[in-house]
Amino acid sequence: MSWAMKIPTDSLPNPAARHVLLCMANYAGPEGCGAFPSALTISSQTGLSERTVRLKLDELEKAGFIAEGNQAIAAAYIDRRDRRPVVYDLQLNRGANAAPRKERGADKRTGCSSQQNGVQENAKRGAAAAPNTPLNHQGTEEQQLQRDLAAEIAEQDLAAAECPSPNQRFAMFAAWEPSAKALADQIAIAGIPADSVPDAAVRSFKGFYAARPGTVDSAHGWCYRLVQWVKRERVKAAGQGQAPDFDDTSWAENLGGL
């Protein structure tokens, strides 16, 4: 981490990128190898959004401060490929007097050589050979527990988003599609035409509530909210002799009470 703290501001002027790099350095090994905190973990520790974290990681990689490392490290912890964060190596030789020596057979990209039980990091010139450290060299036990918990929560959230049960309460998400039967039932109860809920209304409804993750409801509850809002907008537009325009976002000002 001291390496990241000593980088001149003219080399890395963006405070957010510097904050992300400091967080990455906290998870790297002694030679800067094998840091793989997820974007969610970095977001929780820096206060930046996950999108900003990913953008700053890209900026740091393009600027040469980090580079993709040995991806087998993350694979040893996380079975599913689509759940694995990218493993990065800090480029300690950027701005340093001398780069760490690579041993014979070392990975040219990472500077680390693979061993049977993990990753053998290279020792600096003149130093004693480094021991074969376990893969769990990313930080303290508490940090590892935090990463495991964050990964578990993210997997649970994704599973709930992909297929929430009928009685499960969940926050709105972009891939949500109202159940055809539940929507038809609510339309019939509301007494409006069967084709009263166009795709534009569903998109606008999802866009409004996806930005408010504190609001949760069941699958049927979301259909009720959607139909009640559409019904109110139809009545309002009919009173003005117009058809409801669901692409117009002015409706959102009155949606919070649903």
pTM of the model: 0.39
pLDDT reading at 131 higher than 90:
no
CATH class of segment(s) 167-254: mainly alpha
Which residues have CB under 8 Å from 59's CB, separation 6+?
14, 17
Q: What's the mean per-residue pLDDT of the chain? A: 76
Between 73-87, 118-132, 152-166, 211-225, the lowest mean confidence (pLDDT) is in: 118-132
pLDDT at 164: 62
User: Which is higher by pLDDT, 80 or 67?
Assistant: 67
State the Cα–Cα distance between residues 221 and 164, nearest whole angstrom. Answer: 13
pLDDT reading at 207 higher than 70:
yes
Q: Taking the domains of the chain in order of start, what are their residue ranges?
A: 2-152, 167-254
Instruction: Report the percentage of the chain scoring pLDDT > 90.
Output: 19
pLDDT at 155: 59
What single-letter amino acid sits at 51?
R
Which residues have CB under 8 Å from 1's CB, separation 6+?
22, 25, 26
Token representation of residue 18: 């510097």
User: Which is higher by pLDDT, 245 or 36?
Assistant: 36
Query: Each residue of 134-174: pLDDT tens digit?
Result: 444 445 566 666 666 666 655 555 554 455 666 788 888 88
